[in-house]
A and B are shown apart, each in its own frame.
Chain A
Amino acid sequence: DTGVSQDPRHKITKRGQNVTFRCDPISEHNRLYWYRQTLGQGPEFLTYFQNEAQLEKSRLLSDRFSAERPKGSFSTLEIQRTEQGDSAMYLCASSMGTSGRALHEQYFGPGTRLTVT
């Protein structure tokens, strides 16, 4: 399968614990995006990377959220001291990142569903 993959697919954690999610983009894609989706809403942009550079992170929901893409390939999203309001689907997407449709046609992964109890 050469699509975007995310791990784990489901995560149940207790409030206050830290969680980390991984995203592996399509191999030739240099842009990687993180979104959060709650029930009845469209995906909400969190942050994105061009190769290893994090070019936009102002939409990360709080300082408990952080993301990395250390070698410009896979990325991790960490949530520290989880709260019940963090329960959501966390989606990763990637794109070629050049211009036109290749820039904007984002391929989404299956998501990680987080439940904070």
Chain B
Amino acid sequence: EDKVVQSPLSLVVHEGDTVTLNCSYEVTNFRSLLWYKQEKKAPTFLFMLTSSGIEKKSGRLSSILDKKELSSILNITATQTGDSAIYLCAVEYGNKLVFGAGTILRVKS
């Protein structure tokens, strides 16, 4: 069965720390991997990755895909309290997304 596993399940850090969130997947016919941020309501899109080894960056966030290892990481540098959220990883196959359970990140001031 297709599955997406994220680790850690939750994480508490202090402002200014750097965090790395992990996502691994077992999906047939992989097409792309997406990262979303979910605060109190709907998930918002962060990145889409299709090619191995190419880093995507947006400000303090970056992500990279390793197709050989069937995994991806999301890095957040110089964390801020506003980064506190659930970070969801999803893998696209067959025109639908399969989500992991998410990593709950809490950034303390």
Query: A108 near B48 (CB under 8 angstroms)?
Result: no
The complex places the Cα of A117 from the Cα of B45 at a distance, in Å, of 33
Residues in A with CB closer than 8 Å to B88 are 42-43
- Which residue, of A33, A43, A101, A109, has the highest number of chain B Cβ atoms within 10 A? A43
Q: Are the CB atoms of B95 and A91 closer together than 8 Å?
A: no
Q: Chain A nearest CB: distance from B30 CB in Å?
A: 12
Are B41 and A105 neighbours in the complex by a CB distance under 8 Å?
no
Partner of B99 from the list A40, A43, A55, A101 (CB cut-off 8 Å) is A43
Q: In the assembled complex, which residues on chain A have CB atoms less than 8 Å from the CB atom of B13?
A: none
A42-B99 in contact given A104-B32, A104-B92 (Cβ < 8 Å): yes
Contact A59–B48 (Cβ < 8 Å) = no
| A41 CB–B CB distance under 8 Å | yes
CA distance A88 to B34 in the complex (A): 23
A65 within 8 Å of B (CB atoms): no
- With A41-B101, A101-B48 in contact, do A55 and B42 touch (Cβ < 8 Å)? no
Contact pattern, A 75-117, Cβ under 8 Å of B = 1, otherwise 0:
0000000000000000100000000010011111111000000
* Total interface residues in chain A, CB < 8 Å: 22
Q: Measured between C-beta atoms, what is the minimum distance from A57 to chain B in Å?
A: 11
Whether A56 lies near B101 (C-beta < 8 A) is no
Contacts of A56 in B (CB 8 A): 94-96
Shortest distance in angstroms between A90's beta carbon and chain B's nearest beta carbon? 12
Residues of B within 8 A of A (CB): 4, 32, 34, 41-45, 48, 88, 90, 92, 94-102
Give chain A's interface residues, CB within 8 Å of chain B.
4, 33, 40-45, 48, 55-56, 59, 91, 101, 104-111
- Of all A-B residue pairs in the complex, the 7 with the closest CB atoms, nearest first, are A42-B99, A108-B42, A45-B96, A110-B41, A105-B45, A43-B99, A108-B43
